[in-house]
Structure 1
């Protein structure tokens, strides 16, 4: 069976993560030395699309593990309104696969002008962004030809985890990260979790997660739109109860992302609440699977995404869609 480009690239993730960890260790040590000297009071995330979703993961990661406030840049502030922010004492994490989007470059220039120390998490090490940033952490995902990001997204999460582990001197997290490629490979070999039958005739759906599950839930919703043409929106499972839960009366199908961490019991309570109201909800995750039972809770979301990417690619093929080139999309999006 001939695999799509998206499927091939998603299956490269374990090798990408393993090589990235080895390649970036020296750069991480240098960056950590600079960050410890800077002692930033704020992490400012610059990114769009999947890169912005990776930034939400970074928010939960660095606030949870290091207590540093994290916020996302509103790119229109510099690009459209022409306003300059005071970012003295901040570090800006700029996340981009291509490193060539005009709005990302302009916001990076603005962040530097505002006093921020800029770090590019970028796949193309020859890009304008790599030249512009004060420090570069290569994603090392190689060329990604499918429009829908897969390996570059998970590679961004692993790079953020690598930095966090070294910056916070969290040896347990670093050791778990080194074992991640093996777990990712086992996930690739595991059964599908999301099926075409569940999504059959679905035009709208809601993705529910909590904490790190919500962070990757935004990426899940985006891919349902991009690859399958299904309108999907991500909510924190707690936030969904505050109003949007009325959508359940429309017989909406939901997808629950289950992460085995401190948020698990709270998320489960909210999902059970939604089910009690008559919602049909499918669970995704590896919480009860023995072969990933010892995975560090900060890494569970990466396993979920690995399986999800393969599942939606399979559904797209089954539905006669081209997962590699969704209509109306380009690999590099040029916005101001």
Structure 2
């Protein structure tokens, strides 16, 4: 079987991340100047970019001390209601920079008093032109419909945004991401757990995907990829929300995929959830979480050896490889999911 475009682009991520990180780290002072008179961050996005925004929100709140929220673009484009956005840094995220709803919402935010940043792979795109500061990712052209390298380079840009906002982390840890992603790709493809998890998921109609905190966006993105490329029902939930009721759907026909960084305050809860899932007679498949999550899971794929604040840049990669393998095992083409286009326009 020939290599899919999706798999090729997964393999291009280390180089894309290195270009993006090297290109954007010199922009820290630009971000700092723009954000100097702001106190809150508003993320504007849809689809995979919205999942990247979830990472950005947790990073900003946990490491810069600023309040961060996700925008509802319909307030701007459908309800057409102006808000007081003075003191707000509006960050719009779009891989193409051409989604009209996102461009319109960023323009609305500026009219309402916000300072504006764009994160996009589209240099010269309408979104990049609309923003005061444009953080251009260096993913190169992405041909497969499911976002892989454009998603991880968005995360890199948001990590740089966090640094520009004064995050209490070490910028040098971001520079180590590309090499670690390359290692994770190689390790995942050599893992005996990969075919085991693929075979298990190919036999069920759906799964629950869960994480918390800085890893929550990764859980949402993995669930989206399973739905997009494999046509399975996949519910992305914080494990806190999962425990409030939806845990009832986890059974022999609905396994749980649990994602976590190898360290951090949400890891113990993720391990405990894996133990609870297995205790209920269901399968729990871990992604990341170190030896603790691997030991509590039915089977597990190792994640990146990275600090929690940058772990999502590598944590999604085993999930991407899992989805690409699962799609092919189901007889599907992961490059061109039905009903989807590379640029999605919404009303």
Partner of 2:179: 182
Partner of 1:63: 61
Deviations 1:1-31 (A, max 9, x none): 6321111111111101111111122323222
Asked if residue 253 in structure 1 is aligned to residue 255 in structure 2, the reply is yes
Deviations 1:259-311 (A, max 9, x none): 2212111222233223322222111116239x977521222222221121122
Deviations 1:142-188 (A, max 9, x none): 1111111000111011111122124326462x111101111000011
Asked if residue 281 in structure 1 is aligned to residue 281 in structure 2, the reply is no
| Cα distance between partner residues in 1 of 2:289 and 2:277 | 21
* SS of the residue 2:332 aligns to: coil
Partner of 1:97: 95
* SS of the residue 1:142 aligns to: coil
| Cα distance between partner residues in 2 of 1:294 and 1:207 | 21
Deviations 1:195-250 (A, max 9, x none): 32111222121001111222211000000000111110111112111111121357
Asked if residue 136 in structure 1 is aligned to residue 134 in structure 2, the reply is yes
Q: CA deviation at 1:43?
A: 0.5
Partner of 2:85: 87
Partner of 1:308: 319
Q: Relative to structure 2, which stretch is displaced further, 213-222 or 245-254?
A: 245-254
Paired residues for 1:108-147 under 5 Å: 108-147=106-145
Structure 1 runs (4+) greater than 6 angstroms displaced: none
Q: How many pairs were matched up? A: 332
* SS of the residue 1:60 aligns to: helix
Deviations 1:76-127 (A, max 9, x none): 1111111112111100010000111111111111101110001000100111
* SS of the residue 1:298 aligns to: helix
- Which runs of 5 or more structure 1 residues have no equivalent in the other structure? none
Distance 1:30 1:8, change over 3 A: same
Partner of 1:163: 161
Q: Relative to structure 2, which stretch is displaced further, 159-168 or 4-13?
A: 159-168
CA RMSD of aligned residues (A): 1.9
Distance 1:213 1:169, change over 3 A: closer
Contact 1:237 1:271 in 2 (8 A): no
Q: Relative to structure 2, which stretch is displaced further, 227-236 or 24-33?
A: 24-33
Q: TM-score, normalised by structure 1?
A: 0.93
Q: Relative to structure 2, which stretch is displaced further, 6-15 or 160-169?
A: 160-169
Of residues 197, 213, 216 in structure 1, which corresponds to 2:215? 213
Contact 1:238 1:270 in 2 (8 A): no
- Which runs of 5 or more structure 2 residues have no equivalent in the other structure? 295-301
* SS of the residue 2:156 aligns to: helix
